[in-house]
């Protein structure tokens, strides 16, 4: 037993050395996850801070100018054009110069003064309907603010029911707070799966795997020795992303590190198991890469990070129960933002533990029976 | 003399054509026999199309919310009915805040609507409040849910006002919004063109990078150079079969966009075709360049992922708005071909042949193609020497 452990340790050491001795390989382990977190932290956001808009003010009165001033003063809307004719709206929207066109009719001021509802038309570029809907939401907020001031200054009663909005765990509803904790899982899966699959496939392609098999190592020990460095590197990469989230983006961490690492540990084990399975079926690095890619793709798209799982059709929703990333994203987000405890996360942790057991078990069976 | 020269140059051209044709034949055969190429070129696009088309959707409907009913007056019940009738919500009635909080913590609901005690009395007094608490861990969804919840409250108020009740409903200024090009706000309309960009990136850049890197690794590329074939001809012979594979992928995508997901094609097909050919060529060039520069499958695949596929997903403007990114990140996006292709596709599909958008974006792709062509010629020559 002790001899076996020593052999595994020796092999793991050799694997780590092989991985870290090449500068390019070393860089490709740590740099991409950190770089990706940084870029995606800035880029992967549904929040808008720059909405170009064009305005067609057919009224021109003081009230309409005040409304437009509200847009200009919002810090989000940038006026890119003052239009004279409705026909110009088409060219501003079609040419992507403006995301929103605001049309204030000629009876705007008159209606307001007489206490009738005054309409404002807003036309949004629906090429990206999600962005457009967000921009329209911001625009409605500007109009709401105008309404409140107008009511106050004209002694009108407020609406009978006001809506008081709050959001838990992410008070300003910043997409970044949702995305970056989710990236901990996504990037870790991408790297560990690929790394594990390639490390065995490389030896098989280069023929050194047969050399390993004639050493006193038993196949199971080879597997463990291959898996250990990958698990270690996976956890280090997850830590790297976690550090960027906290130290660079200052997203407050609400949970306990123990819970997070317990969840991530199970997740890394499951992804290493998947990687070993992939490598058992591939004879070349290219095949290993391809199969990993074929797995990572659906896993990351159906993880619930970019689009909600609740929106998927039932068949795909059932598929997500087999997706380790689904649980990892959930664990990372909930521990990070909500401070959810270990017990409450059990529904996420036990599927991962089972997946780790099944994949590692299947891989070791294959290593034991097929690769000799 | 001159006749001689022209006939010899003509035979030279003919020999060149023959060499290229032979190369293409060889590459095509190699491609067809390689399961990896078929997997990336055909299987992966089909999987992506199905995943995107059926799996991804940003549309919000039937959101489970907990409605905390602390008042049982007709007003409160009517407001509840307004949530029940809304296609966006699936309310679950609870009696106390702690019960609702527990539902949120178990992720059984995505938000809480709280109708406080004395709601009816406060409505009569004109200062009632409804509290909406969104589950902020999914920021985008929460924001949309908040918007719809406000809509449900507003629709209740206006229906009360319509029944002649004295409640001040909508504000003095009412927003009437319209979404052009996608009136029903169907997220497939922008996800499917984005999907085409991803598939073309995979086939163009990723596949070429992997295949050519493998050839460098195994030394079969150098073996080609010692034959009488010129480096330009090798380039041509390599690109044409993969270009063909790209066109097959494109056909699959466009057909499924039209007939499976019913995304309208408002521009002309040939513009779509030209733009896609341009983009695939740029992608092929990048794949060739990267693989020739690093000559290692692992590094080449990682680099192409990092330089083409990830940006096509995150930095191309198909999912996240480019205008809202910080200046430094936005500057990077100008160097990415995917950005221009997304603009081209979204416009051709949803708007039409709007030349003022199409021409600058196509021109940017052309310039990139020129630069990449020059660079890869240079690298090939250097590698030969």
List the end-to-end C-alpha distance of chain A, in Å, as a whole number: 21
- In a shared domain, residues B47 and B85: no
Domain contains A165: no
Q: Taking CB atoms and an 8 Å limit, are B140 and A175 in contact across chains?
A: yes
| Domain boundaries, position B44 | 2-56+186-384
pLDDT in tens, chain A (372 residues): 788 888 888 888 988 888 788 777 777 777 878 888 888 888 878 888 889 999 999 998 899 999 999 999 988 999 999 999 999 998 898 888 999 999 999 999 998 888 888 889 999 998 888 888 889 888 988 998 898 888 888 877 777 677 777 777 877 778 888 888 988 898 889 888 988 888 888 888 888 888 888 888 888 888 888 889 999 988 998 998 999 999 999 999 988 999 999 999 999 999 999 999 998 888 888 788 888 888 888 898 888 887 788 778 888 888 899 999 999 999 999 899 888 889 888 999 999 999 999 999 998 888 877 665
- In a shared domain, residues B202 and B341: yes
- In a shared domain, residues A213 and A341: yes
Q: Taking CB atoms and an 8 Å limit, are A167 and B133 in contact across chains?
A: yes
Alpha carbon of A6: minimum distance to chain B alpha carbons (Å): 30
Any idea what the CATH number is for the domain that residue A81 is in?
3.40.1710.10
Domain contains A62: yes
- In a shared domain, residues B367 and B255: yes
Task: Select from A133, A237, A318, A322 the residue whose CB has the most chain B CBs within 10 Å, as the one to mutate to test that interface.
Answer: A133
- In a shared domain, residues A137 and A241: no
10-residue stretch averages of pLDDT, chain B, 385 residues long: 64 85 86 76 82 77 87 88 88 90 83 88 83 80 83 82 66 77 82 88 84 80 76 80 88 90 91 94 90 79 80 84 86 91 92 89 94 83 62
Task: Select from A169, A307, A323, A327 the residue whose CB has the most chain B CBs within 10 Å, as the one to mutate to test that interface.
Answer: A307
- In a shared domain, residues A29 and A12: yes
In chain B, positions 286-325, which contact chain A (CB-CB < 8 Å)? 296-299, 301-302, 306, 310, 314-315, 317-321, 323-325
- In a shared domain, residues B52 and B77: no
Angstrom CA distances, A306 to A63, B92, B104, B242, stand at 41, 26, 20, 31
- In a shared domain, residues A180 and A291: yes
Three-state SS at B320 = coil
Q: Taking CB atoms and an 8 Å limit, are A120 and B175 in contact across chains?
A: yes
Q: Taking CB atoms and an 8 Å limit, are B172 and A119 in contact across chains?
A: no
- In a shared domain, residues B151 and B228: no
Alpha carbon of B4: minimum distance to chain A alpha carbons (Å): 50
The number of CA neighbours under 13 Å toward the Cβ of A261 is 10
CB-based contacts of A290: which residues, under 8 Å, 6+ apart? A282, B36, B39, B40
Number of domains making up chain B = 2
C-alpha triplet A277, A290, A267: angle, nearest 5°: 45
Domain contains B170: no
C-alpha triplet B236, B238, B242: angle, nearest 5°: 110
- In a shared domain, residues A147 and A202: no
- In a shared domain, residues A302 and A331: yes
- In a shared domain, residues B45 and B157: no
| Cα separation, A353 vs A340, whole angstroms | 18
- In a shared domain, residues A287 and A255: yes
Alpha carbon of B282: minimum distance to chain A alpha carbons (Å): 22
In chain B, positions 258-277, which contact chain A (CB-CB < 8 Å)? none
Quick check: ipTM above 0.85? no
- In a shared domain, residues B87 and B22: no
Question: Minimal Cα distance from A90: which residue of B?
Answer: B180
Domain contains A106: yes
The pLDDT, as a whole number, for residue B1 is 45
Say if residues A38 and A248 touch (Cβ distance below 8 Å).
yes
Domain contains A99: yes
Domain contains A285: yes
| Domain boundaries, position A300 | 2-44+174-369
- In a shared domain, residues B206 and B352: yes
- In a shared domain, residues B361 and B247: yes
| Closest C-alpha to B297, from A197, A183, A226, A11 | A197
Domain contains A96: yes
Q: Is B153 on the interface with A (CB under 8 A)?
A: yes
- In a shared domain, residues A241 and A123: no
- In a shared domain, residues A78 and A149: yes
Number of domains making up chain A = 2
Domain contains B100: yes
| Three-state SS letters, A113-151 | HCCCCEEEEEEEEHHHHHHHHHHHHHHHHHHHHHHHHHH
The pLDDT, as a whole number, for residue B138 is 77
- In a shared domain, residues A108 and A202: no
Q: Taking CB atoms and an 8 Å limit, are B55 and A301 in contact across chains?
A: yes
Any idea what the CATH number is for the domain that residue B110 is in?
3.40.1710.10
CB-based contacts of B153: which residues, under 8 Å, 6+ apart? A161, A163, B79, B82, B130
- In a shared domain, residues B347 and B329: yes
Domain contains B146: yes
- In a shared domain, residues A196 and A327: yes
Alpha carbon of A358: minimum distance to chain B alpha carbons (Å): 25
Q: Taking CB atoms and an 8 Å limit, are B157 and A159 in contact across chains?
A: yes
- In a shared domain, residues B38 and B120: no
Task: Select from A126, A136, A179, A196 the residue whose CB has the most chain B CBs within 10 Å, as the one to mutate to test that interface.
Answer: A126
Domain contains A164: no
| Cα separation, B235 vs B284, whole angstroms | 10
- In a shared domain, residues B124 and B148: yes
- In a shared domain, residues A117 and A230: no
End of a domain among B146, B162, B178?
A: B162
Domain contains B176: no
Backbone angles phi, psi at B174, to 5 degrees: -110, 130
């Amino acid at each position: 037993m002790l001899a076996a452990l020593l052999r595994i340790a020796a092999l793991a050491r050799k694997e780590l050395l092989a991985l870290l001795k090449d500068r390019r390989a070393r860089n490709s382990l740590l740099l991409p996850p950190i770089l990706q977190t940084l870029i995606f932290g800035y880029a992967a956001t549904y929040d808008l801070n720059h909405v170009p808009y064009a305005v067609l003010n057919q009224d021109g009165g003081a009230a309409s100018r005040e409304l437009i001033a509200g847009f200009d003063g919002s810090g989000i809307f940038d006026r890119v054009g003052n239009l004279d004719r409705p026909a110009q709206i088409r060219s501003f929207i079609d040419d992507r110069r403006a995301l929103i066109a605001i049309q204030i009719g000629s009876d705007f001021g008159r209606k307001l003064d007489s206490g009738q509802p005054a309409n404002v038309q807003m036309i949004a570029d629906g090429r990206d309907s999600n962005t457009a809907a967000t921009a329209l939401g911001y625009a409605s907020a500007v109009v709401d603010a105008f309404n409140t001031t107008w009511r106050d200054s004209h002694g009108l009663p407020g609406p009978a029911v006001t809506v008081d909005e709050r959001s838990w765990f992410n008070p300003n509803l910043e997409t970044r707070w949702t995305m970056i904790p989710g990236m901990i899982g996504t990037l870790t899966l991408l790297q560990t799966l690929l790394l594990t699959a390639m490390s065995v496939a490389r030896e098989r392609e280069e023929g050194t795997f047969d050399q390993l098999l004639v050493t006193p190592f038993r196949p199971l020990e080879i597997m463990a020795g291959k898996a250990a460095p990958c698990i270690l590197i996976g956890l280090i990469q997850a830590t790297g992303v976690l550090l960027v989230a906290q130290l660079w983006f200052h997203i407050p961490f609400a949970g306990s590190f123990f819970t997070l690492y317990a969840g991530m540990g199970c997740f890394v084990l499951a992804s290493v198991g998947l990687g070993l399975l992939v490598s058992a079926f591939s004879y070349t690095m290219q095949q290993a890469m391809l199969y990993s890619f074929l797995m990572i793709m659906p896993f990351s798209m159906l993880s619930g990070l970019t689009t909600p799982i609740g929106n998927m059709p039932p068949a795909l929703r059932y598929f997500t129960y087999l997706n380790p990333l689904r649980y990892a994203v959930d664990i990372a987000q909930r521990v990070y933002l909500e401070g959810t405890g270990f017990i409450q996360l059990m529904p996420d942790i036990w599927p991962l533990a089972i997946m780790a057991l099944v994949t590692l078990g299947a891989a070791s069976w294959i290593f034991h029976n097929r690769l000799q | 003399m001159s006749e001689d020269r022209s006939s010899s140059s003509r035979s030279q051209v003919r020999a060149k054509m023959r060499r290229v044709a032979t190369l293409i034949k060889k590459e095509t055969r190699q491609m067809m026999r390689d399961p990896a190429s078929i997997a990336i070129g055909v299987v992966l696009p089909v999987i992506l199309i199905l995943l995107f088309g059926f799996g991804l959707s940003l549309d919000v409907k039937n959101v489970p919310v907990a409605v905390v009913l602390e008042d049982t007056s007709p007003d409160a019940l009517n407001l509840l009915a307004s949530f029940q009738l809304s296609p966006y919500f699936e309310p679950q009635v609870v009696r106390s805040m702690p019960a609702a909080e527990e539902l949120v913590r178990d992720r059984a609901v995505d938000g809480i609507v709280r109708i406080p005690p004395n709601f009816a009395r406060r409505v009569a007094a004109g200062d009632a409040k409804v509290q909406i608490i969104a589950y902020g861990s999914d920021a985008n969804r929460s924001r949309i849910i908040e918007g719809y919840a406000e809509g449900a409250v507003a629709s209740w108020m206006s229906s009360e006002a319509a029944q002649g009740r004295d409640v001040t409903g909508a504000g003095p200024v009412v927003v009437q919004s319209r979404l052009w090009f996608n009136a029903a706000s169907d997220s497939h309309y922008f996800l499917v063109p984005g999907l085409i960009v991803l598939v073309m990136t995979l086939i163009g850049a990723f596949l070429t990078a992997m295949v050519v890197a493998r050839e460098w690794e195994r030394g079969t590329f150098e073996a080609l150079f010692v034959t009488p074939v010129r480096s330009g001809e090798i380039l041509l012979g390599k690109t044409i079969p993969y270009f063909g594979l790209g066109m097959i992928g494109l056909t699959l995508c466009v057909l499924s966009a039209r007939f499976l997901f019913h995304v309208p094609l408002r521009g002309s097909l040939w513009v779509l075709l030209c733009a896609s050919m341009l983009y695939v060529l740029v992608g092929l060039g990048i794949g060739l360049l990267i693989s020739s520069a690093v000559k290692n499958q692992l590094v080449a695949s990682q680099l192409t992922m990092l330089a083409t596929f990830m940006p096509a997903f995150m930095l191309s403007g198909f999912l996240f708005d480019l205008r809202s990114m910080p200046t430094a990140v936005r500057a990077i996006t100008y160097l990415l071909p995917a950005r221009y292709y997304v603009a081209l596709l979204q416009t051709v599909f949803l708007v039409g042949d709007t030349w003022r958008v199409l021409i600058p974006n196509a021109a940017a792709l052309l310039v990139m193609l020129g630069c990449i062509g020059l660079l890869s010629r240079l690298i090939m020559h250097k590698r030969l020497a």
